[in-house]
């Protein structure tokens, strides 16, 4: 049997007054979000609220009915929807309140008037000076770079960087190998030219010599029976000179093979002995004989002493020079083998040359052609021509002039022997030494530098906006930064070059810099070459003048002004418009003179003791260590 529990709302007694003292009140307390200590806590509390006020719960052993009346279910659904809507409205209201609070806070923080401090200073009398400042690098006034005059190998260097030398001290030495080679090459050039002169003289002898001899040289023929190789490209009508090559004539019918045998067989091999010659490329064996024995002493890779044996053979027609071959020699019923193979060569070879100048009237020059001894290769037509003689004599004269030039070069190169021992040209300190023993140095390359360190100079750069104020003879202060602080040395302007050498960027764009030289003493030895320094040149000094702070002088549309603090408007004040001059101050035009980073000279406009505006500082910055003093105002 299922028991339907009573709804606590259905049978609840009507409340018509204060509840009984023993009865708990039926109203429910809600933990609203705005009662929480934070927004997150409020939202969490609100989201955990029940959907309806709590009612008395049924006994735990009752089971909720599964079938309620339809009107009651509909009322419960409406209540749930209404509760969700209320939740959404409350959440949106809370978010809107938070955003409104942030906006109000930002407005209060940034739009309220902030307390500020007007900083002022007093016009006073004092001294001002204008100066030109810049940078530069230290260099020795006197220095010398030593370069070698001849290529050579360094034998010995006697000083290191930082050493002190006297004029005339031997710095380093070079060996003579390169000088010897240069002179040898020049002599070889002379020998080559002399060969050309001898050849031209031969042609002159033919032209000016015996008629019969000249005629005999007009025909060029084969010196022996054989083959012409390396034939020249000759054509009918070509003009040739004495010494022109016709080709190389070889005896290819008879070949030879040069081999080396151990001295163990020195007494076993004789001229005329037969030899079996093996040619692997032709896959053949040919019989030859020993034609020559030369008792040289050649050492093999194995350390054996060898002598030369030449074997002669007839060419069956299938062999050629350059083929690899070997041979065995029979002696006393034994076969003797060489230490290594050799190559076949022609038994005879001769270069064929033109021996008379003239025009070719017959040509029978064909490469690899066989010729009989005395067969004509070419024939030359000779005509006596004095112009040809003069041309040859002019050639000899030209060659002789070339020899004269080379002989002068030899004399100059011989002076290189005097340049192998290099001495110091001046006294001073070795700034650098790039020499390494055993290395070759090239002529013209500076290898050692010597400088006198007692007198130094600064290679300075002067801004184009200030260069007109710098003149030779002006005193200059050189500031050198050391490990333990700054050191100031006196110097003097030596020169100013009015040609710009460096381009940089200034506040207004591209700026040119002009080189200047300052000189100073370096008796303390603190200055080093290449050291960076600052300089300062005093251009003008004025004493007992009115000085205003640089920051107090304002450039306005009405001209240069200062803002003077005064209870009464000065007679010479001007109106610059609203919002430009701070309250309690008046704009007074002034005439300025010289100035620097410390102040500006006031020529007219204000008097000594006038209090002028410099800047505005918020009080919160002053509380963090800024300036104090003066009145507090609100400046919107």
State the pLDDT confidence band at 296, using cuts at 50, 70 and 90: very high
- Residue 312 falls within a domain, yes or no? yes
Residue 586 vs residue 162, higher pLDDT: 586
pLDDT of residue 26: 40
Q: Do 308 and 274 belong together in one domain?
A: yes
Domain's final residue, options 541, 558, 584: 541
CATH classification at residue 501: 2.40.30.170
Which residues, 6 or more positions from 427, have their beta carbon under 8 angstroms from its beta carbon? 164, 165, 166, 167, 450, 452
| Secondary structure (DSSP) of 112-177 | SPPEEEEEEEE-EEEEEEEEEEEEEEEEEEEEEEEE-SS-EEEEEE---TT-EE-TT-EEEEE-SH
Contact 458, 518 (CB under 8 A): yes
State the pLDDT confidence band at 188, using cuts at 50, 70 and 90: very high
Residue 231 vs residue 505, higher pLDDT: 231
Q: Do 600 and 519 belong together in one domain?
A: no
Total domains in the chain come to 4
Q: Do 465 and 523 belong together in one domain?
A: yes
For residues 259 and 177, what is the distance between their CA atoms, to the nearest angstrom? Answer: 39
Measured in degrees and rounded to the nearest 5, phi and psi for residue 557 equal -65, -25
Q: Do 259 and 341 belong together in one domain?
A: yes
State the pLDDT confidence band at 605, using cuts at 50, 70 and 90: very high
- Residue 158 falls within a domain, yes or no? no
Measured in degrees and rounded to the nearest 5, phi and psi for residue 184 equal -65, -40
Q: Do 503 and 561 belong together in one domain?
A: no
Q: Do 534 and 551 belong together in one domain?
A: no
Q: Do 506 and 561 belong together in one domain?
A: no
Q: Do 569 and 520 belong together in one domain?
A: no
pTM: 0.44
Provide the percentage of residues in the chain whose pLDDT is more than 90.
46
Q: Give the model confidence (pLDDT) of 529-580 as tens digits.
A: 888 899 998 888 899 999 999 999 999 989 999 999 999 999 999 999 888 9
For residues 381 and 543, what is the distance between their CA atoms, to the nearest angstrom? Answer: 109
Mean pLDDT across the chain: 82
pLDDT at residue 585 tops 80: yes
CATH classification at residue 585: 2.40.420.20
Q: What is the mean pLDDT of residues 262-274?
A: 92
For residues 181 and 178, what is the distance between their CA atoms, to the nearest angstrom? Answer: 5
Contact 49, 30 (CB under 8 A): yes
pLDDT of residue 76: 61
Residue 35 vs residue 308, higher pLDDT: 308
Report residue 206 as tokens.
């033919």
Report residue 270 as tokens.
């004789």
Contact 248, 273 (CB under 8 A): no
Distances in Å between the Cα of 28 and the Cα atoms of 58, 86, 94, 226, 501 are: 18, 17, 22, 141, 93
- Residue matched to tokens 């260590």: 625
- Residue 268 falls within a domain, yes or no? yes
For residues 188 and 409, what is the distance between their CA atoms, to the nearest angstrom? Answer: 13
pLDDT of residue 231: 94
For residues 507 and 370, what is the distance between their CA atoms, to the nearest angstrom? Answer: 93
Which residues, 6 or more positions from 260, have their beta carbon under 8 angstroms from its beta carbon? 298, 300, 306, 307, 308, 309, 338, 339, 340, 342
pLDDT at residue 71 tops 80: no
pLDDT of residue 398: 94
State the pLDDT confidence band at 39, using cuts at 50, 70 and 90: very low
For residues 462 and 513, what is the distance between their CA atoms, to the nearest angstrom? Answer: 5
CATH classification at residue 277: 2.40.30
pLDDT of residue 347: 92
pLDDT at residue 24 tops 50: no
* Least confident span in 53-67, 269-283, 544-558: 53-67
pLDDT at residue 515 tops 70: yes
pLDDT at residue 592 tops 60: yes
For residues 89 and 626, what is the distance between their CA atoms, to the nearest angstrom? Answer: 51
In angstroms, how far is the first alpha carbon of the chain from the final one? 85
Q: Do 519 and 552 belong together in one domain?
A: no
pLDDT of residue 620: 64
Q: Do 476 and 491 belong together in one domain?
A: yes
Q: Do 270 and 338 belong together in one domain?
A: yes
- Residue 94 falls within a domain, yes or no? yes
Domain's final residue, options 298, 330, 347: 347
pLDDT at residue 358 tops 60: yes
Q: Give the model confidence (pLDDT) of 138-163 as tens digits.
A: 999 898 998 888 888 898 999 999 89
pLDDT of residue 12: 42
* Least confident span in 14-28, 87-101, 322-336, 564-578: 14-28
Give the chain's largest Cα–Cα span: 174
Q: What is the mean pLDDT of residues 475-496?
A: 88
- Residue 277 falls within a domain, yes or no? yes
- Residue 208 falls within a domain, yes or no? no
Domain that holds residue 108: 33-56+69-112
- Residue 307 falls within a domain, yes or no? yes
State the pLDDT confidence band at 415, using cuts at 50, 70 and 90: confident
pLDDT at residue 407 tops 70: yes
Phi/psi region, residue 111 (left: phi>0; alpha: psi -120 to 50; beta: rest), is: alpha
- Residue 482 falls within a domain, yes or no? yes
Q: Do 517 and 599 belong together in one domain?
A: no
Domain's final residue, options 507, 541, 575: 541
Q: Give the model confidence (pLDDT) of 105-124 as tens digits.
A: 776 666 555 677 889 999 99
């Amino acid at each position: 049997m299922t028991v339907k529990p009573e709804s606590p709302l259905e049978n609840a007694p009507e409340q018509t007054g204060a509840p009984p003292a023993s009865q708990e009140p039926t109203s429910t307390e809600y933990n609203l979000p705005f009662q929480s200590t934070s927004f997150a806590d409020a939202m969490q509390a609100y989201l955990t609220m029940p959907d309806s006020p709590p009612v008395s719960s049924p006994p735990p052993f009752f089971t909720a009915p599964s079938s309620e009346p339809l009107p009651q279910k509909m009322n419960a659904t409406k209540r749930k929807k209404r509760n969700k809507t209320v939740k959404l409205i409350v959440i949106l209201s809370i978010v809107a309140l938070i955003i409104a609070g942030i906006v109000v806070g930002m407005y209060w923080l940034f739009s309220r008037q902030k307390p500020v401090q007007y900083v002022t200073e007093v016009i006073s009398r004092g001294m001002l000076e204008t100066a030109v400042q810049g940078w530069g690098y230290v260099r020795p006034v006197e220095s010398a770079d030593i370069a070698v005059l001849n290529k050579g190998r360094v034998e010995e260097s006697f000083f290191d960087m930082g050493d002190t030398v006297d004029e005339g001290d031997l710095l380093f030495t070079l060996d003579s190998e390169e000088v010897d080679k240069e002179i040898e090459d020049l002599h070889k050039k002379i020998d080559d030219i002399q060969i050309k002169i001898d050849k031209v003289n031969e042609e002159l002898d033919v032209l000016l010599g015996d008629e019969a001899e000249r005629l005999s040289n007009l025909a060029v023929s084969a010196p022996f029976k054989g083959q012409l190789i390396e034939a020249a490209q000759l054509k009918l009508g070509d003009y040739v000179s004495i010494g022109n090559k016709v080709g190389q004539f070889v005896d290819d019918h008879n070949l030879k093979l040069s081999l080396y045998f151990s001295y163990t067989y020195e007494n076993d091999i004789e001229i005329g002995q037969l030899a079996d010659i093996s040619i692997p490329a032709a896959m053949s064996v040919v019989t030859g004989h020993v034609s020559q024995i030369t008792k040289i002493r050649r050492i093999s890779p194995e350390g054996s002493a060898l002598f030369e044996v030449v074997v002669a053979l007839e060419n069956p027609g299938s062999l050629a020079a350059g083929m690899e071959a070997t041979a065995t020699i029979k002696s006393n019923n034994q076969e003797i083998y060489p230490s290594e193979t050799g190559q076949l060569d022609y038994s005879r070879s001769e270069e064929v040359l033109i021996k008379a100048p003239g025009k070719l009237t017959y040509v029978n020059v064909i490469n690899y052609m066989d010729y009989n001894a005395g067969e004509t290769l070419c024939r030359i037509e000779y005509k006596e021509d004095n112009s040809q003689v003069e041309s040859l004599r002019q050639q000899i004269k030209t060659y002789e002039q070339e020899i004269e030039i080379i002989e002068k070069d030899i004399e100059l190169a011989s002076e290189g022997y005097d340049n192998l021992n290099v001495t110091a040209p001046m006294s001073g300190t070795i700034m650098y030494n790039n020499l390494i023993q055993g290395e070759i140095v090239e002529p013209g390359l500076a290898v050692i530098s010597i400088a006198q360190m007692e007198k130094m100079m600064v290679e300075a750069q002067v801004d184009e906006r200030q260069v007109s104020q710098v003149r030779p003879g002006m005193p200059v202060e050189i500031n050198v930064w050391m490990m333990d602080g700054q050191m100031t040395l006196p110097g003097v302007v030596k020169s100013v070059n009015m040609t710009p050498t460096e381009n940089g960027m200034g506040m207004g764009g591209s700026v040119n810099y002009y080189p200047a030289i300052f000189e100073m003493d370096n008796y303390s030895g603190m200055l080093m070459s290449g050291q960076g320094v600052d300089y300062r040149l005093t251009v003008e000094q004025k004493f007992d003048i009115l000085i205003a702070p640089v920051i107090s002088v304002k450039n306005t549309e009405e001209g240069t002004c200062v803002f003077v603090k005064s209870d009464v408007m000065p007679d010479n004040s001007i109106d610059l418009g609203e919002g430009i001059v701070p309250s309690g101050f008046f704009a007074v035009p002034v005439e300025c003179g010289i100035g620097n980073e410390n102040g500006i000279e006031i020529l007219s406009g204000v008097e000594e003791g006038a209090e002028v505006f410099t800047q505005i500082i918020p009080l919160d910055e002053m509380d963090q260590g800024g300036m104090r003093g003066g009145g507090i105002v609100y400046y919107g």
